[in-house]
Amino acid sequence: MTVKIVTDSASDLPPELIKELDITIVPARVIFNNKSYRDGVDISQEEVYHKMVDESIPTTTSQPPPGDFASVYKKLLKEAESIISIQTTSKLSGIYSSALQGKEMVGGGDRIEVVDSLTTTMALGLITLMAARLAKAGESFSRILEETRQSVPHTHAWAYFDTLKYLFQGGRLGKAKTLLGSMLPVKALLVMRDGELHPSGLVRTRARGIERLIENFKKAVDVQEAAVVYSTIPDDAQTIKERLSAVFDRGSIHISRLGSALGVHGGPGMLGLAFREKATDLGQEATITDRLKKHISLPSIHRPKLSFSRL
Q: Can you give the pLDDT at residue 310?
A: 52
Average pLDDT score over residue span 105-113: 94
Rounded percentage of the chain residues whose pLDDT exceeds 70:
84
Instruction: Name the least confident of 137-151, 164-178, 290-304.
Output: 290-304
Write out pLDDT tens, residues 226-238: 999 999 999 999 9
Distance CA 130, CA 226 (A): 12
List all residues 6 or more positions away from 260 whose beta carbon is below 8 Å from its beta carbon.
9, 28, 30, 37, 39, 40, 43, 44, 45, 47, 48
All structural domains of the chain with their residue ranges? 3-152, 154-302
Q: With cut-offs at 50, 70 and 90, classify the pLDDT of residue 307.
A: very low
For the domain bounded by 3-152, which CATH number is listed?
A: 3.40.50.10170
Write out pLDDT tens, residues 253-262: 999 999 888 8
Would the pLDDT of 206 be above 70?
Answer: yes
Average pLDDT score over residue span 269-293: 69
Rounded alpha-carbon distances, angstroms, from residue 254 to 70, 107, 116, 184: 30, 36, 23, 30
Q: Are 210 and 161 in contact (CB under 8 A)?
A: no
Instruction: Name the least confident of 88-102, 145-159, 185-199, 278-292.
Output: 278-292
Asked if the domains at 3-152 and 154-302 fall in one CATH topology, the answer is no
Q: Please, what's the b/e burial string for 236-264 (b: 16 or more CB within 10 A of its CB; e: otherwise)?
A: bbeebbebbeeebeeeebbebbbbbbbbb
Distance CA 190, CA 93 (A): 17
φ and ψ of 249, to 5 deg? -125, 15
Work out the angle between the directed axes of helices 95-106 and 66-76 (0-180°, nearest 10). 50
Q: Give the rounded distance of the alpha carbon of 291 from its chain centre.
A: 21
CATH 3.30.465.10 for domain 154-302, yes or no, is no
Q: What DSSP string describes 261-302? A: HHHHHH-TT-EEEEEEE-STTTTTPPPHHHHHGGG----GGG
Residue type for position 137: A
Write out pLDDT tens, residues 45-59: 888 888 777 777 777
Write out pLDDT tens, residues 25-83: 999 988 888 888 888 788 788 888 887 777 777 778 889 999 999 999 999 999 999 99
